[in-house]
Amino acid sequence: MRIGIDLGGTKTEGVILDGAGKELIRRRYPTPRAEGYEAILNTIGFLVEELDQFAGHQCTVGVCTPGAVSQVNGCLKNSNTVCMNGRPVASDLENLIGRPVRLENDANCFALAEAIDGAGKNAGSVFGIILGTGVGAGIVINRTLFKGLHHIAGEWGHNVLEADGPQCYCGNQGCVETFLSGPGLVTEYVRQGGDAGVDATAVAARAMYDPTAGEALNVFLDRFGRALAMVINILDPDLVVLGGGLSKIERLYIEGRQRTALYVFNEDFRTPIVSNNHGDSGGVRGAALLWPE
């Protein structure tokens, strides 16, 4: 049996999947962010012990986290739980729980879960996108995560879409993430004269009757199309699956798709763009699936 751990900024969640991918148990604890690195590791250790006890034996362990593991020194980087950055999280966890640990970026875990037994289970190649507070993506080919030389494959959120766009934390300007994240949609709404006190879901809902929100969403959908067409032209995946809070915007699947078609270098555009099957569980399931059956 396989344990998946989703190490989030506010909660740490663990599941056990059986050989068929069925979830047997789920446990959730607050992430002790304020207490620091050791406390966070100990929470994972405790969770693994509890899940092992349920299973009656030692399970394999996969962990999903924001950020990425450096190919140079094995340390985590770019995590929003900043006390984890610069730490060899996987090897420290291995020492703590006494077995190998596979650790992977949350967007990669999302893409893997959807490709294996989610919305993309019948597709040979899947591009999985998270549109949330940030924008991340992962590539799965023949049910295997494609990581790339620098282990950054799928980091489409930091492709520059408009060179004169907003400053991104990564150092570039006008990254896809600065436009297609929740804060990106709100920024566009405010730029058009809208009210700064609303979130992205509210902007999308207001688009029905508020012309300012309508225009912000229109610009958002066009940027989505331009950004995704670049991926299609390079990877040409069999399916694109969307996750994260903004994946609930229905118009992405109709107008977002039509805009993508405008920019793709082909006269017809057949790539399905679909919503996810696993909802918020994609990350934790994908973490468990980092180990084969």
Task: Please report how close the Cβ of residue 134 comes to Zn ion at its closest, in angstroms.
Answer: 9
Task: Please report how close the Cβ of residue 170 comes to Zn ion at its closest, in angstroms.
Answer: 3
Query: Between residues 133 and 277, which has the closer beta carbon with respect to Zn ion?
Result: 133
Size of the site for Zn ion (CB under 5 A): 5
Query: Between residues 134 and 225, which has the closer beta carbon with respect to Zn ion?
Result: 134
Query: Between residues 87 and 158, which has the closer beta carbon with respect to Zn ion?
Result: 158
Among 61, 97, 175, 213, binds Zn ion (CB under 5 A): 175
CB atoms closer than 10 angstroms to residue 22: 9
Task: Please report how close the Cβ of residue 224 comes to Zn ion at its closest, in angstroms.
Answer: 17
The DSSP result for 189-252, as a single string, is HHHTT--TT--HHHHHHHTTT-HHHHHHHHHHHHHHHHHHHHHHHHH--SEEEEESGGGG-THI
Spatial CB neighbours of 87, under 8 Å, sequence gap ≥ 6: 37, 75, 76
**CA angle, 177 as apex, 208 and 125 as ends, to 5°?**
95
Task: Please report how close the Cβ of residue 200 comes to Zn ion at its closest, in angstroms.
Answer: 18
Query: Between residues 165 and 194, which has the closer beta carbon with respect to Zn ion?
Result: 165
What is the pairing mode between strands 23-30 and 11-17? antiparallel
Asked whether 55 and 1 are in contact (CB, 8 A), the reply is yes
According to the binding rule CB under 5 A, does residue 223 interact with Zn ion? Answer: no
Residue 101 phi, psi dihedral angles, 5° rounding: -125, 135
Task: Please report how close the Cβ of residue 138 comes to Zn ion at its closest, in angstroms.
Answer: 17
Asked whether 57 and 37 are in contact (CB, 8 A), the reply is no
Chain-centre distance for alpha carbon 77: 16
Span near Zn ion by CB under 5 A; candidates 37-45, 173-181, 210-218, 280-288: 173-181
Among 87, 158, 257, 285, binds Zn ion (CB under 5 A): 158
Positions that interact with Zn ion (CB under 5 A): 158, 168, 170, 172, 175
